[in-house]
Structure 1
């Protein structure tokens, strides 16, 4: 059971929906056998019962295989199962013809006729609905259902069935086949919608990353464009003066050196926003990104009065913890809490998507991300604890001592300004959530920060 749970939790949401859809159609095959195949043993002669039962079993198995192949075609991983489609249509028609013939021959035996008609309607409904998995056009689905129903009426009349009985059978086939066709069409639509939404979410993330890169490029252009133009002009002037052996060439190169140093300083100012984590922006960004990923995130915080160094260190914890929630496990809920008590700033990030290797009670994670966080926290004498918290929960706790005077605890804050009232419901900052900035990679920042 633990392996099955780990296998299920390791799947993405679209993969879970696809697995659920596939096994639903496989389960319906068993429903067809138990609902319409087994009852014939009590209503038909023994030899005939076995023939009909084996026909229903074969039809149900063919429906299960066809459903699997049709879903593969829907997802684009396999060609359209044309041969199986024809085989299933023929098998459905054959079972229907045999059962209708039995029903008309058993008019003197009401129980036999009723069992044959029920078997006919059930098999035809399941067969028609399963065929709809390989037909995406709604008109063709409707034509298929209507065609089977009309063919049923025509064949019933041709073998001598009463007109009223034939009309009732046609109506029953329309209802059964129409309902099962609707279920099949809705299942395919739902599966495709889930995958499209997941792709749209990934596209939105990539667009956010691209927008942040463009903004960073614009900032660098604004900072460096003018200064580089001045450096180029002054360097060219210095070359000309040097060729004429004019002493002003030295002064021009000194000016070039000064402008270059100022440019380097300005670039570092631009890059610093990417290298330093602002706690308030990180909390808001984490909530926005997790909510966008379908993970319910609540943030309770009170960042007022925290030193800049402490906020920067805890901001990195929020950033890394958010990345781990998105990357590992399959969390549905994440709670972030920041409080100041007893001279300590305590940040807690807890989610219900514990990594698979932590389910057994002993967590073996040793990623470089947590090691890097411990190094950052050690600069401000902080500590980091990470591991399973029981019940499938995973908890990250960072504690940083506060310098004197300590930040007032929530109990000492003025009335109406409690930490709980600062529970974050804000949307991500205009410049984009910080985890998105991390997704850019810090290679650009490192190159300009040296």
Structure 2
């Protein structure tokens, strides 16, 4: 914190770029008196050179303040400094015009040394002034008008001061080109600074979206974990009530099973929170068969699951869990079949039930549970197809390639 570079390290990347841009323009403005001062002190006496540098220093100070305020406006910290922009433009025109007039008609006459010094004042003031004024303009057309206006004005002033037409035209072209270069540099620097801020906002937005996506994933996982278990608890509790009313001893066994499922749900929720949960296909198949048969639904499971990759087993295990939950919740199924086939290079899981009503209106795309399954399967290159197969049968088919590597690690 107390190190000489601590203040810089504490800055964000956009703040560093802004600081660099701000001081770059300050140093550009300070180079104006450096260029003029070298010429002035090299050709004039010290007293005369100092007199020349006074208006130049005032112009530079105004340019630095204007540049700083213009950068603040660019990043949205203050209003556009219109008064300062007009003041800088007027000061630039005034100093440049005075330099031309004094160079041609001053007390000392148009001497070679005086003309060289005042010529440098004329050119540098215009170029730097126009370039820094462009910082406060966003419209490119206005920047072009600013550059061409000062260029044309420089030629007219030079011609009016007695400069030959060809020399005045050359002066106009030089001022236009040089000030245009500085204006383009200013515009590019502002564009770059704004781009950095936009990218930083995009990065923050991406981070917020990642958090939101993680929350959705967490909610989906809780839905997957609790959906089937709560359905089974409700079913067995209802069965226990009926048995208890008939004074049947099996009611105790059903409530013991409810207790076991509730404890299992607690364990799975804790695993979701800790992020260590991974569904096991074989365990889910056995669980689905037991749960459906307990609900009075005939369930047949066939196929081999040995040797499947862990990510494939996890994805298909969630398919079995969601399909089982839907069979319990929707429709009036009497029979359900779960088949695992392994054609060359892929594994196909098919769940069929004879329920008259498919989940969520038999939509092939609707439903939070099916949408979550599609996301899980797409992470391992798989697909999901769900819908009515005719004769009141609902079919869910999940297919996963065995050779595809997961494009995204699904939280498990």
User: TM above 0.5, one fold?
Assistant: yes
Number of aligned residues: 284
Q: Deviations over 1:264-315 (max 9, x none)?
A: 2333443443599xxxxxxxxxxxxxxxxxxxxxxxxxxxxxxxxxxxxxxx
Q: CA deviation at 1:197?
A: 2.0
- Aligned CA RMSD, in angstroms, stands at 3.0
Q: Is 1:55 matched with 2:55?
A: yes
2-structure distance, mates of 1:252, 1:224: 19
Is contact 1:37-1:56 (8 Å) kept?
A: no
2:5 match: secondary structure: helix
2-structure distance, mates of 1:237, 1:176: 90
Tell me what 2:170 maps to: 168
2:27 match: secondary structure: helix
2-structure distance, mates of 1:108, 1:186: 39
Q: Is 1:13 matched with 2:13?
A: yes
Tell me what 1:179 maps to: 181
Q: CA deviation at 1:239?
A: 4.7
Q: 1:85 to 1:137 in 2, by over 3 A?
A: same
Tell me what 1:210 maps to: 212
- Say which structure, 1 or 2, has more relative contact order (CA 8 Å, 6+ apart): 1
Q: CA deviation at 1:58?
A: 0.5
In structure 2, the gaps of 5 or more residues are 279-404
| 1:259-274 aligned within 5 A | 259-274=261-276
1-structure distance, mates of 2:104, 2:62: 27
1-structure distance, mates of 2:277, 2:260: 25
2-structure distance, mates of 1:14, 1:269: 40
Is contact 1:128-1:144 (8 Å) kept?
A: yes
Tell me what 1:22 maps to: 22
1-structure distance, mates of 2:25, 2:175: 20
Pick the aligned partner of 2:151 from 149, 152, 155.
Answer: 149
2:275 match: secondary structure: helix
2-structure distance, mates of 1:35, 1:428: 63
Q: 1:126 to 1:177 in 2, by over 3 A?
A: same
Tell me what 1:34 maps to: 34
Q: Is 1:430 matched with 2:408?
A: yes
Tell me what 1:308 maps to: none
2-structure distance, mates of 1:78, 1:229: 59
Q: Which has the larger radius of gyration?
A: 2
Q: Which moved more, 1:238-247 or 1:3-12?
A: 238-247
Is contact 1:99-1:116 (8 Å) kept?
A: yes
Tell me what 2:75 maps to: 75
Q: Deviations over 1:182-222 (max 9, x none)?
A: 11112112222222222222222222232222222212211
1-structure distance, mates of 2:246, 2:103: 114
